[in-house]
Amino acid sequence: MRLIIIGGPKTGKTTLARAATGDTPAYHTDDLIPGRSWADQGDAAFMMLCRANLDDPDGFVYEGVLAVRALSRWLKSRTDSPCDQLLVLTVPRVSQTPEQQRLGKAIMTQFQPLIPGLRALGVEIEWDRS
């Protein structure tokens, strides 16, 4: 299963990815943030998603705040499916700073227009609002 987990800061993406992986390769976009400009982060996240699909086509977990930017670039440049399932986490598990709250809202705003394209590629989208 190729799984992508998206959501704002502190929604449990990394914790869930660690629990879900076992022997499945995990790709964490947060590893791409330090030392890169905003534009470079998006490019690096997209390349990481491409690499996950190339290196581990039978299954991987890909997660992080940059995942939506990678999905947006995927839909603009590819015609195959980026994953089998996409899990959207919307509820913070711990307190957030105002900046983290704004980032979470921005991520969901960027994700909404991607939903039809992802569904057209057969991606199963599951929402965790609990």
pLDDT tens digits, one per residue of 41-53: 889 999 999 999 9
Burial group, residue 90, by CB count within 10 angstroms (0-12, 13-18, 19+): middle
Q: Which pLDDT does position 112 carry in this prediction?
A: 97
What architecture does CATH give domain 2-128? 3-Layer(aba) Sandwich (3.40)
Domain ranges of the chain: 2-128
pLDDT tens digits, one per residue of 83-119: 999 999 999 999 999 999 999 999 999 999 999 999 9
Q: Which residues contact 109 (CB under 8 A, 6 or more apart)?
A: none
